Amino acid sequence: MSSLLVSPSAINIKVTPADLANARAIYGPYRHCLEGKAYPHVGSHKSWDPGNEPKEPGQLLHIDIVFINNRPRLFAVDHVTSYLSLVLMESKKHEELYKASDMVVAFYKSNLKVVRVLSSDSESVLKSDAINLYMNEKHGIKMSLRIPYEH
């Protein structure tokens, strides 16, 4: 998390690694961070076709909307490298999700990486046909939905 806070992927984040260290000292380890996994566990749903597993950075991104201080952020984890991206959003509306996802995709494109699949849990705004159509038409990216609460 400290690496994410100082990386150029953390857009509009005012939290510093010192803030994170202070929070850990006061509250202890964050339970959800201890439970979270960047990679699917054994027996979980695969987001790719057999034989077509992602081998290059950016090919498969796991995304979710997380709330920090009651503000939504688009959180993305690269499947191959576990690189983290966090983009601040004003709300969970489709337009905000479009802008945030465009920022994440633009970052990978600027580093000559091709995003092919966005994997997400079945959160209502992420599983809508509108975001699926937008990502497919604008970027040629497939949305792959996982079962709820599986990251």
Give the pLDDT band of residue 50 (cuts 50, 70, 90). Answer: low
CATH number at residue 112: 3.30.420.10
105: in domain: yes
49: in domain: no
Q: In total, how many domains does the chain have?
A: 1
pTM of the model: 0.64
Which token pair is 45? 């749903």
25: in domain: no
30: in domain: no
Nearest to 21 by CA among 11, 36, 6: 6
Nearest to 104 by CA among 122, 124, 120: 120
The pLDDT value given to residue 53: 77
135: in domain: yes
107: in domain: yes
81: in domain: yes
Give the pLDDT band of residue 127 (cuts 50, 70, 90). Answer: low
**CA–CA distance, 39 with 12 (Å, rounded to integer):** 26
Give the pLDDT band of residue 144 (cuts 50, 70, 90). Answer: confident
Range of the structural domain that residue 138 is part of: 55-145
Report the share of the chain in percent with pLDDT over 90.
Answer: 21
CA 55, chain centre distance (Å): 18
Nearest to 10 by CA among 82, 104, 102: 104
Nearest to 61 by CA among 34, 95, 101, 97: 101
The helix (run of H) or strand (run of E) holding residue 96 is: helix 94-110
